[in-house]
Structure 1
């Protein structure tokens, strides 16, 4: 039924609940793989020049967000393994979260996308902002489970 499950994570409690459901599904379908994806918003050089504290290197905003996203994915992988998940892979991407999640699922030929109802709300900490789950459900070509 479901062989490839994409789970969007951003470090929020909602995304971890979504991951919990994906792991429960995997336990029912032992051949299923879980693909974790954390999407961070790319900061342009223009946005960086408008910041109050100008970084020494112009790529720092993206670098910091990328590193944070990697930490989120690693934490989610560990969480999934503690719950008994067997096949879990993690990915970090930049861009508009809803678009990236849908495109990633299409590239991976996913059978299901699992997302939380709401992500974190801080620009510094949040990866999935706004009504991402709504946009994903509207654009996805596969079923979407909103937890």
Structure 2
């Protein structure tokens, strides 16, 4: 994918602008910042390498954003990072934050049980075709599952 030459030559200013906007109070702005980092890592990961630590720390922070849309955009970063084939050692120190494992905490029922009513899985007769769209919606849970799959 080609990058506009103006963006190519102004990349430092562009990245500085993204970091200025990173903690904007508007959720739409934070979503766009996350999307920009994802696109950059997909198109030109070398541009992010000098600032990769800051980008990773930001993505970890917004993975916990109160807005699901922002968290979903941030979650896309981890799969894109792995696809970019950047050195795995860049992520090593961040893996405990990204993939926390606390075996002293017991699993809670709400973390393990499916969120859907059991008739959803047992072919309830009253389901209409419109329900297929609900299953196919990309959400934070699905995105996280893909990211974990790629990371492991």
Asked if these proteins are the same fold (TM beyond 0.5), I'd say no
Choose between structure 1 and 2: higher strand proportion.
Answer: 1
| Larger RCO (CA within 8 A; separation ≥ 6) | 1
Larger radius of gyration: 2
Q: TM-score range by the shorter chain?
A: under 0.3
Choose between structure 1 and 2: higher helix proportion.
Answer: 2
TM norm structure 1: 0.26
TM norm structure 2: 0.26
